[in-house]
């Protein structure tokens, strides 16, 4: 079998045989696949009793991004991430902003990018991180894993931008391989996940396990009018983050804009995000940020309230963290500040 044309076999620890089927253990769908069948993601296939990743090395999107775009605000601010994605996804979000690649279920790319070549590209452009993003990186974890291990040799860190339905097996495997994650907490509603996203509501378990595994974790909630913008709904998310992940965990509140199958839904008003910000602060969260509305986002020292990092969009206006601490009162600021 040619790895460049039909995919690459996945490590056996990420699938198991069950009678005449195999069980894919890359995400919480745990798809049971007959020979020749692909999972809900469209890119992991049972080929002769082996799990084969059809998008291994087949990149559909490749860009250099500010790390703030992920968004990660407490992880190497001001640096550049080499960002990659493939086709396919294990969710079917009606508001997806990258639906042109994520909702594709046929792999047409023939060009192959070896992990070593991708890392050399990151070195060429002085990217301090490689971000697995745009579509759901869990579905191409076998490739991301190999890239991340190669990147470690050169001091380059790896980031997951994810919907949070990784399998327990994958999250535990990330220890020492993946360094940080921004996880979408889309709604505090199991029925919403199952009915509209076609996915299990396991983001809470994933977030807790990522923290236990040692990843730096930030959380994003896309606030959608009429879907998850009720105060009591946002309170549940904020309290979960504060109580289960820690009050030092950054919470990014992003404004929705019409896209894909939700073009008739209104933009998120600034006032709604401001309400959500107040809810987060009331829950005890020390770092709450507003996205997609063009406002200044400042990281304040939780002790003396000095302005430490000022941003507009993806641009840093000032940076006053010294050796991981507030320049003024020397309080340690949670995050990863040095490559």
Tell me, what's the pLDDT at 106?
A: 77
Same domain, 46 and 85: no
| Mean of pLDDT values over 189-197 | 94
Indicate the DSSP class of residue 257.
Answer: -
SS3 at position 301: coil
Q: How far apart are CA 127 and CA 307, in angstroms?
A: 27
Q: Is the pLDDT of residue 300 over 70?
A: yes
DSSP 67: G
pLDDT > 90 in the chain, percent = 89
pLDDT at 260 over 90: no
pTM score, two decimals? 0.96
Query: What b/e sequence results for 126-138 when a residue is b if at least 16 CB atoms lie within 10 Å of its CB, and e otherwise?
Result: ebbbbbbbbbbbb
Backbone angles phi, psi at 240, to 5 degrees: -60, -50
Q: Would you call 191 helix, strand, or coil by DSSP?
A: helix
Backbone region of residue 91 per phi and psi (left: phi > 0; alpha: psi in -120 to 50; beta: other values): beta
Mean pLDDT of 274-283: 98
- Specify the DSSP class assigned to residue 70: T
Supply the pLDDT for residue 3: 42
Query: Across residues 316-328, what is the average pLDDT?
Result: 97
Question: Considering only 75-89, 95-109, 163-177, which range has the smallest mean pLDDT?
Answer: 95-109
Does 2 score more than 50 pLDDT?
no
The Cα 230–Cα 102 span in angstroms is 28
pLDDT at residue 180 above 90? yes
Residue 97 pLDDT: 85
| CATH, residue 82 | 3.20.20.70
285 and 303 inside one domain: no
The predicted model gives 282-301 an average pLDDT of: 96
268 and 160 housed in the same domain: yes
- Domain shared by 316 and 194, yes or no: no
- Domains identified in the chain, total number: 3
Alpha carbons 155 and 158: distance in angstroms, whole number: 10
Residues 6+ apart with CB under 8 A from 336: 74, 75, 76, 157, 179, 180, 216
Residues in the chain: 339
Cα–Cα–Cα angle for 201, 207, 211, rounded to 5 degrees: 165
Averaged confidence pLDDT in the chain: 95
Judge whether residue 105 has pLDDT over 80.
no
Query: For helices 270-282 and 231-240, what crossing angle results, to 10°?
Result: 40
Residues 74, 194 within the same domain: yes
Q: Is the peptide bond before 43 cis (omega within 30 degrees of 0)?
A: no
Residues of the chain above pLDDT 70, percent: 99
Cα(4)–Cα(114) distance, integer angstroms: 9
Q: Are residues 286 and 141 in the same domain?
A: yes
Residues 323 and 278 in one domain: no
- 253 and 221 in contact (C-beta within 8 Å)? yes
Structural domain for 27, as ranges: 3-53
- Is residue 5's pLDDT more than 70? no
Does 119 score more than 70 pLDDT? yes
Which residues neighbour 124 within 8 Å (Cβ) at sequence distance 6 or greater?
none
Does residue 336 surpass a pLDDT of 80? yes
């Amino acid at each position: 079998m040619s790895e460049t044309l039909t995919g690459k076999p996945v490590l056996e620890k990420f699938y198991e045989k069950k009678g005449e089927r195999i069980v894919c253990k890359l995400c919480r769908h745990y798809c049971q696949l007959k020979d020749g069948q692909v999972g809900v993601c469209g890119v992991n296939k049972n080929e002769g009793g082996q799990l084969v990743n059809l998008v291994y090395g087949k990149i559909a999107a490749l860009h250099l991004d500010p790390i703030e775009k992920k968004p990660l605000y407490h992880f190497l601010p001001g640096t550049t991430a080499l960002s990659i994605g493939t086709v396919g996804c294990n969710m079917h979000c009606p508001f997806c902003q990258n639906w042109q690649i994520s909702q594709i279920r046929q792999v047409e790319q023939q060009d192959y990018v070896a992990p070593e070549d991708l890392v050399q590209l990151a070195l060429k452009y002085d990217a301090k991180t490689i971000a697995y993003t745009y579509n759901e990186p869990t579905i191409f974890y076998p490739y991301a894993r190999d890239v991340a291990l190669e990147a470690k040799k050169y001091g380059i860190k790896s980031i997951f931008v994810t919907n949070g339905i990784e399998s327990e097996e994958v999250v535990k495997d990330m220890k020492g391989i993946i360094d940080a994650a921004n996880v979408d907490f889309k709604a505090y509603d199991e029925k919403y996940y199952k009915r509209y996203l076609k996915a299990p509501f396991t983001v809470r378990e994933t977030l807790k396990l990522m923290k236990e595994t040692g990843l730096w974790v930030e959380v994003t909630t896309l606030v959608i009018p009429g879907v998850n913008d009720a105060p009591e709904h946002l309170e549940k998310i904020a309290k979960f983050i504060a109580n289960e992940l820690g009050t030092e965990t950054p919470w990014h509140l992003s404004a929705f804009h019409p896209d894909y199958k939700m073009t008739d839904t209104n933009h998120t008003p600034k006032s709604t995000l401001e309400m959500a910000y107040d809810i987060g602060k009331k829950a005890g969260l020390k770092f709450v940020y507003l996205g997609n509305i063009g406002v200044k986002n400042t990281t304040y020292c939780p002790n003396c309230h000095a302005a430490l990092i000022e941003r507009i969009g993806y641009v840093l206006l000032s940076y006053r963290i010294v050796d991981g601490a507030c320049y003024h009162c020397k309080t340690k600021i949670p995050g990863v500040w040095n490559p």
